[in-house]
Amino acid sequence: MTTHYFRACLLSLALLAAQPALSNQALILPPGTFNPAQTLPAPPPDNSLEAATERATIKEAYRDATPEERAAAKQDAANESVRLYADVLPGFDLDKLPASKALFKTVRTNEKIQTGAFKTYFNRQRPYQVDSDITPCLPPKNFDINASDPSGHTTMAFSSAVVLAHLLPEYAPAIMQRAEQYGRHRIVCGAHHPFDVRSGQVLGTLIGFTLIKSPTLQAQLEAARSELSRSITKPTALIGTEWVATRINGDAVTGHALTLTIEGNKAFGSSGCNRYTGQVTLGNKDTMQFGPAASTRMACPGNADQQEAAYLKALQSVTAYHLNTGSLILLDAQYNKALEFQAKK
C-alpha cells in the first residue's frame, strides 16, 4: 500500500508543480511551502513488522554489495552536492561554471529548508539507532540523529537532478539513473531505511519541479542553460559507433581489444580472440538488454579466455546505458558500471 502511495505521489508531481510558485520573497520556497502531513506518508513505527523488514533489507543490501559498491556508497555519503553528476556529465566542473554554480546554490538553499522541516516533523530514528547490528559507512554526527525520514542526500540528489535534466535533456536518463543509484547507496550505507529514500525521491522531485516553474528562478535557469550548452557537448551516437571496452566491472581490460557495435537490434564485435553476435533491445529511458550471444570458438592464449568470459557475462547483466562524449557506460540492475567503453577513433 505504501509503495502505491509513493507512485501516486510521483505521478502527481507535474500537476503540483504547475501551481503558481511563491516568487515575491527572498526564498522561492520559504518554510511552510509544503505541508509534511499532506505531502508524504508517515514512516512505519520502529517496532512494526514493516520497519523490521526494512532493517533486514539494509543488512541484505550491504551484504550483497560488492567492495566497489560499498566504496562508492561511502564516497557518495561524503558528497552531498550536485557535483555528484560529474560522473555522467563530461565537463561538469562547477568551479568553471559560475552561472550553474549560482543556480544550484539557490536550489540547495531552498531544498535544505524544506528537507529540514520534513525531518523535524517526522523525527524518525536512523536505522543504526534502532539496530546495533547496522553500522553506518561514515561516523554519525550528534546533530543528525532522529533525522532519517526523508533522506536528505536523496532529496538533494533528486531536486538537483530534475533541474539539471531540465537544462540538459540529452543527458536526462543518465542524470536520473545516477540519482537513483545515489539514493540506493544511502541504504547500502546503513544511513536510511528504504522508506526514507523513497520519501526523498518524492520530496526532491516535487521541489525540483516547483523550482523550475518559479518565475523568480527563470533568469538563473537561462544563464545556466546557456553556460552548460557551451561547456557540455552532446553525447556520441550509440548506433553505428564502434565501442572499445576499457573496463569490465571496474577492472581494466588488457590484451586484445574487446569491441561492441550496435546496428538496429543487432549487437556484434570482438570478445578478445573470438567474434560474437546477438540481439539487443533498446527501450525508453536508456534501457538496454542483450540476448544470448553466438560466437566463434577459437582457443584464447593466457588469461584471455577468462576476460572474454567476464565480458560476455557482463553484457548479459546490462539493463541500462548512458552516453557521454566519446564514451559509453553499460549499467546493471543496481546502476553499477558493468562495462565501460570509449568510441574508436
Instruction: Check for a shared fold between 2-231 and 243-343.
Output: no
Q: What integer pLDDT is reported at residue 50 of this predicted model? A: 97
Q: What integer pLDDT is reported at residue 1 of this predicted model? A: 39
In angstroms, the CA 57 to CA 208 distance is: 29
Domain chopping of the chain, boundaries:
2-231, 243-343
**Cell numbers found for residue 170:** 540529452
In angstroms, the CA 200 to CA 114 distance is: 11
- 259-to-86, 268, 283, 336 alpha-carbon distances in Å: 25, 8, 22, 20
Phi, psi angle pair for 145, to nearest 5°: -80, 165
Q: Which listed CATH number (2.40.128.270, 3.90.76.10, 3.40.50.2300, 2.40.50.140) goes with 243-343?
A: 2.40.128.270
Q: What integer pLDDT is reported at residue 301 of this predicted model? A: 81
Burial (CB < 10 A; 0-12, 13-18, 19+), residue 99, is middle
Nearest-CA neighbor of 115 among 88, 154, 84, 58? 154
Going residue by residue through the chain, which has 345 residues, state the pLDDT in tens, using 9 for 90 and above. 344 445 445 444 433 443 333 333 348 999 999 999 999 999 999 999 999 999 999 999 999 999 989 999 999 999 999 999 998 998 999 999 999 999 999 999 999 999 999 999 999 999 999 999 999 999 988 888 999 999 999 999 999 999 999 999 999 999 999 999 999 999 999 999 999 999 999 999 999 999 999 999 999 999 999 999 999 988 899 999 999 999 999 999 998 899 999 999 999 999 998 999 999 999 887 899 999 999 998 888 878 889 999 999 999 999 999 888 899 999 999 888 999 999 998
Q: What integer pLDDT is reported at residue 67 of this predicted model? A: 92
Could you confirm whether domain 2-231 is CATH 1.20.144.10?
Answer: yes
pLDDT tens profile 226-278: 999 999 988 899 999 999 999 999 999 998 899 999 999 999 999 998 999 99
51-58: list long-range contacts, CB under 8 Å, 24+ apart: 51/130, 51/193, 54/127, 54/193, 54/194, 54/195, 55/127, 55/130, 55/131, 55/134, 55/193, 57/187, 57/194, 58/127, 58/134, 58/187, 58/190, 58/193, 58/194
Q: What integer pLDDT is reported at residue 25 of this predicted model? A: 39
Q: What integer pLDDT is reported at residue 248 of this predicted model? A: 97
**Cell numbers found for residue 126:** 536512523
Helix/strand/coil percent split, the chain, to 5: 50, 15, 35
Q: Within a 10 A sphere around the Cβ of 291, how many other Cβ atoms?
A: 13
pLDDT tens profile 178-222: 999 999 999 999 999 999 999 999 999 999 999 999 999 999 999
pTM score, two decimals?
Answer: 0.80
Taking the CA atoms of residue 180, residue 261, residue 169 and residue 196 in that order, the dihedral angle to the nearest 10 degrees is 0
Nearest-CA neighbor of 41 among 111, 126, 121? 121
Q: What integer pLDDT is reported at residue 2 of this predicted model? A: 47
In angstroms, the CA 165 to CA 211 distance is: 13
* Amino acid type, 187: I
Q: What integer pLDDT is reported at residue 6 of this predicted model? A: 52
